Amino acid sequence: MGSPWQYSVVPDSADLVINAADLVVRRGKTTLLDHVSWQVELDERWVVLGPNGAGKTTLLNLASARMHPTSGIMRILDEQLGKVDLFELRPRIGISTAALSEAIPVDELVLDVVITAAWAVMGRWHEEYDPIDEARARALLEQFGVDHLAARRYSTLSEGERKRVQIARALMTDPELLLLDEPAAGLDLGARERLVRTLADLAADPDSPALILVTHHVEEIPPGFTHALLLADGGVVASGLIDDVMTADNLTKTFGVPLDLQRHGSRFSARAA
């Protein structure tokens, strides 16, 4: 049966990068996402925060057009999942995840890790790249401070260097939406702080795509992020402007332990109350 009501509550809008209405994802008897609605505009920078198993990766899989919802409507860049050619939509979305990083062949050179995104492949083979592609890949490596590593094998990089290369790759196709899944996971304190600063620069750049960053840690929220979505048990605990959403009360509900939240300028820290 059709569901015309959904069209009346989910208006099309060119400014909405994500327009998710009443998303449900089920696998067997498990509900991974439970009636999640979410709207992201072009110039917004979102952090998605939640404990292990909250449904963050599931939501990111939907937002990157790698999964369909069991029910509900997911519109990405004004296209509706289920009604759009995914191979046309996916290049418009940049994504950096640990799973994609693990798929990089061990002997792949760093420049090729970035440039192969132009063909949406992993592992350089016989594809032809224009000089303009190579110039863009080099410029992105430079933007993320890893241009000196262009000729190194990706497998020899430190975790912090890899994260930067992954983000450069995610930006290769000049996407309208950039999804970053735990970009600071596994980094030491110095590398984390350097990455947070780089992401703050990206957030401040008006030419950057809409940004969505998934994390478990409030300390990893870069300055300049404007909105937050707190998820727990597949449902939305709070969603909206970061200043409204980031409260000790909401974090306590999200993580299921009493938490104190401190704000230090535009950064956050949290610990058990």
Ligand X SMILES: Nc1ncnc2c1ncn2[C@@H]1O[C@H](COP(=O)(O)OP(=O)(O)OP(=O)(O)O)[C@@H](O)[C@H]1O
Of 8 and 52, which CB lies nearer to ligand X in the complex structure? 52
- Smallest gap, in angstroms, from Cβ of residue 64 to ligand X? 13
Of 48 and 73, which CB lies nearer to ligand X in the complex structure? 48
- Smallest gap, in angstroms, from Cβ of residue 217 to ligand X? 11
Binding site for ligand X (CB under 6 A): 27-28, 30, 32, 50, 52-58, 216
List residues bridging with 263 in a β-sheet: 268
Question: In sequence order, what DSSP letters do the residues of 250-265 get, joined into one string?
Answer: HHHHHHSS-EEEEEET
How far apart, in whole angstroms, are the C-alpha atoms of residue 219 and residue 166?
Answer: 21
In degrees rounded to 5, what are phi and psi of residue 87?
Answer: -75, -20
How far apart, in whole angstroms, are the C-alpha atoms of residue 273 and residue 174?
Answer: 43
- Smallest gap, in angstroms, from Cβ of residue 67 to ligand X? 10
- Smallest gap, in angstroms, from Cβ of residue 184 to ligand X? 13
Contacts of 5 (CB under 8 A, 6+ apart): none
Structure-block tokens of residue 253:
């509900």
How far apart, in whole angstroms, are the C-alpha atoms of residue 171 and residue 185?
Answer: 19
Amino acid type, 97: T
- Smallest gap, in angstroms, from Cβ of residue 232 to ligand X? 9
Of 115 and 231, which CB lies nearer to ligand X in the complex structure? 231
How far apart, in whole angstroms, are the C-alpha atoms of residue 56 and residue 180?
Answer: 11
Contacts of 245 (CB under 8 A, 6+ apart): 227, 228, 229, 230, 238, 239
Of 133 and 181, which CB lies nearer to ligand X in the complex structure? 181
List residues bridging with 10 in a β-sheet: none
- Smallest gap, in angstroms, from Cβ of residue 112 to ligand X? 28
Of 28 and 190, which CB lies nearer to ligand X in the complex structure? 28
Of 53 and 256, which CB lies nearer to ligand X in the complex structure? 53
Of 110, 103, 130, 104, nearest to 118 (Cα)? 130
- Smallest gap, in angstroms, from Cβ of residue 59 to ligand X? 7
Of 27 and 126, which CB lies nearer to ligand X in the complex structure? 27
